[in-house]
Chain A
Amino acid sequence: MGFYFAQLLTGLANASSLFLIASGLSIIFGVTRIVNFAHGSFYMVGAYLAYTIVTALNGGIFGFWFSIIAAAAIVGVIGLLIEMTILRRIYRAPELFQLVATFGVVLIFQDATLAIWGAEDLLGPRAPGLDRAVRIMGEPIPEYDLALIAIGPAVLAGIWLLFHKTRWGVLVRAATEDREMVGALGVNQAWLFSAAFVLGAFLAGLGGALQIPREAVSLQMDLSIIGEAFVVVVIGGMGSVSGAFVAAVLISVLNAFAILIFPQISIVLPFIVMAVVLILRPYGLFGKPGSEHVGTEEPEQPLKLMSQKSTMVLLAAVMVLAFSPAVTADFTSILLVDVMVATLFAVSLHFMMGIGGMVSFGHAAYFGVGAYAAAMMVKFLGFGMLPAMLLAPFFAAAAALFFGWFCVRLSGVYLAMLTMAAAQILWGVTFQWQAFTGGDDGILGVWPAEWASSDKVYFYIAFVLCLGGIWFLRRVAHSPFGYTLRGIRDSQTRAEAIGVDTKFHQWMGFVVAGSLAGLAGVVFAFSKGSVFPDTLGIAQSIDGLIMVLLGGIHALAGPIFGAVAFVMIEDWVTRLDYWRFIFGGIILVVVLLAPDGIAGGVNRLIRAILPNQKGGAA
């Protein structure tokens, strides 16, 4: 009995840590609708700052707690700077665009932290006065765990008081429910947003600082927490702080007990819980309908077929690409294959997000299934390259058929997070099931057939498949099927009222996007000769997301611009020291110069140079 009680307390202590970071994320989303990837960075910087201040002060109990608060406050100020210098300028950008800016911030923070604090993990002191364990029912429980168990609910109570007893808090709640109303009441929205962002950053910093007595401060802290923090926010219901608390307790306590029975489960448990919760409750435990929306919704301009001139430019570009192997070296062909794969992947994601209005944080699932299906057909079934290439996308389609059925029942961020859960569960299975998938050692030796093994020949295979895929998706975008998808995105009610089975149609859109992502995965697998679970991972999904958003979600050419720019810039900057800093900086510059994405920026540039031309990038 004592054992299980102690396990419960351990779970609750973890829940408090998780809640602190998730609450800030939830508040920021609730008020500003920003999906803040940089939240993990705030958490990490809070921990580093606390480490520095604690060790510098070395001032006993008072010094310790002062350091924690001071570190959190500094993170709050950093949050304010980011909000005022970057995010404030792009609140009117299309939905989710701010996410790209926060991604840039993540990169910058990673290198800044490395430069300031060095690469080695830093183990801070234990909390003075709370540095031992006490026996409860005979079981040793760290005193600091008990302190955390108290701090979590105390912070929840503090937030509750702030939200219910102060004018500011009432406004924040009102803004979470209905942003336009607050604007109509004459409240200074910029001020409200800054304050919410600062509070969120402060809480993340506090969460990080409070980890000092529990773990070594490391450069992995940002990415290791952010996924779970999002999961907690989503399970609780976006914007609901008390929901985040319940979700943090649920996840942590479940994990504490689950590892007694099935130790391997930790890796995917939060995502399984999230998937189950979302399937049963489409807005999370405490979320309200309407809490799923992201960013401002400005209507998109109608699609246009390309003008004759733009068609000529496009054909010329394709011709240049087609003849590039004749004049460039082999490695350039290889880079261009990567560019084409990334572009097809981004275009397929755009088909789902831009055309279909279904945001995905887990599109890599279908890319990875395509890659793995091809690799396994070659390795285990002895298929040749071409049959594997032709068949593998159907496996991606099947995966999309299965997961899509659940996903299209949701909308907005909840849909996005369910796609992420699907991808993470697939990733976890691939990662664990060594006998079948090779685990994280992957599958090796998936090289092109003999006749296609030269870099130039493979370039043309990739050229045909990737450009064919892109052409197909573009064609579908202009077809009744694509128009209907856009119609459903614009108005589900109207689509239903003209006889469209909206869920079924979205489902099929999901499958089309997934299949083409699978095709990209197939081309990828043979170009690299090996596949690893990374192909299904969050990083792959996020890269795609950044390409689509950076390129401009409202233009068909957006993902093409985004993918080409992303791959080429990354290939260039990774040659440099502190390249993440530079890459992050480039992203921020693009974000600030072109809040409508690269496609929008290019269009405006063309119009500025040739005032009588209409931009043809749609």
Chain B
Amino acid sequence: MSPVLSVRNLSKNFGGIKAVQDVNFDVAKGEFLALIGPNGAGKTTCFNMLNGYLKPNSGGSVQLNGKELLGTPPRKIWRMGVGRTFQITETFLSMTVLENIQMALISHHRRVFDMFSRATRLYVDEAMALLDLVSMSEHAERACSELAYGDLKRLELAIALAHEPALLLMDEPTAGMAPSERIALMALTADIVQREGVSVVFTEHDMDVVFAHSHRILVLNRGELIAEGTGDEIRANPTVQEVYLGGGTLFEDKKEAANA
């Protein structure tokens, strides 16, 4: 089966500094892929190239189901079937929870220029179904600005799923959350992607989260992909051990996460 996402020769220089060098990987359908590495390893740079916020060096290629993503603005990447969540949640704070989802649906159905319909009456059922998915339906009428942070994260997940994406990009999905919530959120995410058949690429500091939920892990260091494999393989990989022991801790990454 052909991969959902295929990344080839992805590189990025900032001035003379090589932030990302020649990264290659594939993501299969339904795969839950973690991208990890110490601070400054190039995770965020890599991520921002995938979602269109950064322009990579020429020569690379990122294909989603065979279609080239590079050089495409973020909003078009979204239209091609890539949903995303942010390290610090980005939602529409002046709207209700339900309206936030409706917005994604309105955009998905290309009705943002409709000047006459009542926005709040559109796609209510679909939006409620999405809220159900993340167990947020009882909050539907609440103002987004009143939500607890964990709820905002779940809302964002629902927004990201609104256009039935093939791929979900999640940047530090559990940053800023209590440890117990982290596991819960990722369990929920894993559950949903499995049911919906969505592929996920996420970056993460919390190694408990990474090892508990990812199908496969990519390790970046100084812009280069140094290892790739399942949790057990990565744990046993001597290069990874060296990198992480040099830079701090691998299996008790609390300090780093707290600093993030």
Contact = CB atoms under 8 A, between A and B. Distances in A.
A305 B118 contact: yes
Contacts, number: 116
Nearest to A297: B93
Interface in B114-168: 114-120, 122, 143-145, 159, 162-163
Contact of B119 (A478, A491, A493, A497): A478
Interface in A463-499: 475-476, 478-484, 486-487, 489-491, 493-499
Given A497-B78, A498-B159, A499-B108, A479 B95 contact: no
B96 A302 contact: yes
Contacts of B120: 305, 478
Interface stretch (B37-45, B61-69, B84-92, B215-223): B84-92
Contact of B74 (A300, A480, A482, A497): A497
Contacts of B102: 483
A600 to B, nearest CB: 15
Interface residues of A, number: 33
B7 interface: no
Contacts of B94: 299-303, 486, 489-490
B104 interface: yes
Contacts of A494: 86, 90-92, 159
Contact of A302 (B95, B104, B108, B163): B95
B82 to A, nearest CB: 9
A480 B122 contact: yes
B36 interface: no
Q: Looking at A479, A482, A512, which has the most chain B CB atoms within 10 Å of its CB?
A: A479
Interface stretch (A393-401, A432-440, A500-508): A500-508
A491 B107 CA distance: 15
A497 B73 CA distance: 10
A496 B74 contact: yes
B111 A480 contact: yes
A302 B143 contact: yes
**Chain B, interface size: which category?**
35 or more
B255 interface: no
B93 A299 contact: yes
B91 A505 contact: no
Nearest to A300: B94
A486 B92 contact: yes
B116 to A, nearest CB: 6
A478 B121 CA distance: 10
B95 A486 contact: yes
Nearest to B108: A499
B95 A501 contact: no
Interface in A379-393: none
A500 B163 CA distance: 13
Contacts of A490: 91-95
B117 A483 contact: no
A475 B115 CA distance: 7
B47 to A, nearest CB: 13
A500 B91 CA distance: 14
Contacts of B111: 480
Contact of B78 (A481, A487, A499): A499
Contacts of A476: 115
Contacts of B14: none
Contacts of A300: 93-94
A496 B102 CA distance: 15
6 contacts: A299-B144, A479-B118, A484-B112, A490-B93, A491-B91, A499-B76
